[in-house]
Structure 1
């Protein structure tokens, strides 16, 4: 059993594994993961996952919340950083140490955020990619960026996420637009103008992946799509995004992410984040 919570962060270091550190890093970047998502990312047995999460909660490294389901029962536990988790990540990244009150407020804001379902959906997309790499050695998720990191790095776009997906010697960058069915389709399409502007400015031409909540909505989106300077491909939540399920606009055949066209761009004199033709943080 882990020791009781302590004001001295160093006292819990002997109980933190490399896997725990990786989980803390992901939650620092992506805020929230469900029990099932953490299980698929890091564990073989679900029970082992549940036990370890409870231990990390007892150490104050993680916090959790869940809501009641309509009709009875509860939604799954949603896990985020606890106060000691925030302290550990602050130390790791040379940030000011948060107070206990600030850590509690972060959890409260996250749990009450009206975009929580959307955030979990975005993370689910990347969890499916990362979980696939555990089964397929030739596949790699070389980059998993959140909306905030993507916006900070590329500035002119507001993608829900950005990734680099590799299969063998092929690496494809992509922008993710995760749809939960609450936004008008014309608003989704309007985002493509910013991607086109960014592509002209930087030379980075990654496909925009619209991950839609249901097939009917996907069909309607394709009816509205017109010619665009950027590659657009769609799939739905009920599919495995690592499979050949992506339908490029203007085509009738579905392909895998690694089969979509992508150009990593070219070095730009006034952009220090371009190295070897690839935009990096």
Structure 2
């Protein structure tokens, strides 16, 4: 089947062009575009974990979407060893036009602007954003391998969290995870080691204020880059007014879904993510604004 080729300048997408382009896309393609819109940037490997199984079909489909101008890509320079990082993907102008048409809104109402979308490529927060998205890509990857026993039921990005709760707390993401009959909501704090530990611990005050204001207590997960930093932070935190668990970045085994979480103030062994629901049995499921089954992709 021939591929529709849109001029590189992409001066305008009229209704006929959109119809022709839409006919080339699959439901999974739309899911990829929606995920890129929600979460700003994903690497090839993250897209594979969330939507595919093998690398070759992932790269082949992304190449087609790139030729259709529905996505665009960049490779950030890496300071270590020189060269560039793997391909990073963001939503393209044609992809935004298709998503807007599907939602019955304008591209502006969708909240897309190409310059703003591309700004992440030079942002100092790019590595942090990729780290947050790695966390959820690994959860999706585990869920896809679990054959229905696990599911990412919500994944809200930082900007959506800021709109809802930014006057009190600013989590890096909000998530809802289910596995084998257990279900838990959580706020994620992805720590890269760049902030003083006292500043990381101080963020918990905002979460306590949020719990008091909303009357809903949502656990905070602190995802840390090393065991020593985790140990020192736990000592600094001491007792907390909200449930907190810590773990160290890992992709081995079951990743963040696995038995890597240690509740603060508890001598318990490390628990699976879903088992944290048992560690805090008095929690009421639900964030400060009910997700209504929206996985945020």
Q: Structure 2 length normalisation: TM-score?
A: 0.84
Q: 1:220 aligns with which of 232, 251, 255?
A: 232
Query: What is the match of residue 250 of structure 1?
Result: 265
Larger RCO (CA within 8 A; separation ≥ 6): 2
More moved, 50-59 vs 40-49: 40-49
- SS of the counterpart of 1:258? coil
- SS of the counterpart of 1:204? coil
- SS of the counterpart of 2:247? strand
Query: What is the match of residue 247 of structure 2?
Result: 235
* CA distance in structure 2 between the partners assigned to 1:50 and 1:225 by the alignment: 44
- SS of the counterpart of 1:200? helix
Per-residue Cα deviation, 1:65-111 (whole angstroms, up to 9, x for no partner): 0023343432100000011012122333444335xxx8441243111
1:107 to 1:81, Cα distance in 2 relative to 1, 3 A: same
Query: What is the match of residue 206 of structure 1?
Result: 218
Which sections of structure 1, spanning at least 5 residues, go unmatched? none
Q: 1:77 aligns with which of 77, 87, 93?
A: 87
**RMSD value over aligned CA atoms?**
2.5
Query: What is the match of residue 264 of structure 1?
Result: 284
Which sections of structure 2, spanning at least 5 residues, go unmatched? 8-12
* CA distance in structure 1 between the partners assigned to 2:64 and 2:185 by the alignment: 37
* CA distance in structure 2 between the partners assigned to 1:242 and 1:266 by the alignment: 19
1:219 to 1:266, Cα distance in 2 relative to 1, 3 A: closer
Query: What is the match of residue 30 of structure 1?
Result: 39
Query: What is the match of residue 190 of structure 1?
Result: 202
Deviation of the 1:178 alpha carbon: 0.3
* CA distance in structure 2 between the partners assigned to 1:275 and 1:76 by the alignment: 33
* CA distance in structure 2 between the partners assigned to 1:275 and 1:114 by the alignment: 30
Per-residue Cα deviation, 1:178-199 (whole angstroms, up to 9, x for no partner): 0111111111111111111121
Q: 1:12 aligns with which of 8, 21, 31?
A: 21
Query: What is the match of residue 40 of structure 1?
Result: 49
* CA distance in structure 1 between the partners assigned to 2:248 and 2:197 by the alignment: 14
| 1:202/1:266 contact within 8 Å kept | no
Query: Which residues in structure 2 correspond to 1:6-155 (within 5 Å)?
Result: 7=13, 8-69=17-78, 70-97=80-107, 103-136=113-146, 137-155=148-166
1:251 to 1:219, Cα distance in 2 relative to 1, 3 A: same
- SS of the counterpart of 2:23? helix
| 2:76/2:121 contact within 8 Å kept | no
| 1:274/1:280 contact within 8 Å kept | no
* CA distance in structure 1 between the partners assigned to 2:51 and 2:286 by the alignment: 36
- SS of the counterpart of 1:54? helix
1:237 to 1:193, Cα distance in 2 relative to 1, 3 A: same
- SS of the counterpart of 1:163? strand
* CA distance in structure 1 between the partners assigned to 2:58 and 2:294 by the alignment: 35
Per-residue Cα deviation, 1:111-140 (whole angstroms, up to 9, x for no partner): 111101111111111111111110112111
Deviation of the 1:3 alpha carbon: 1.4
| 1:203/1:264 contact within 8 Å kept | no
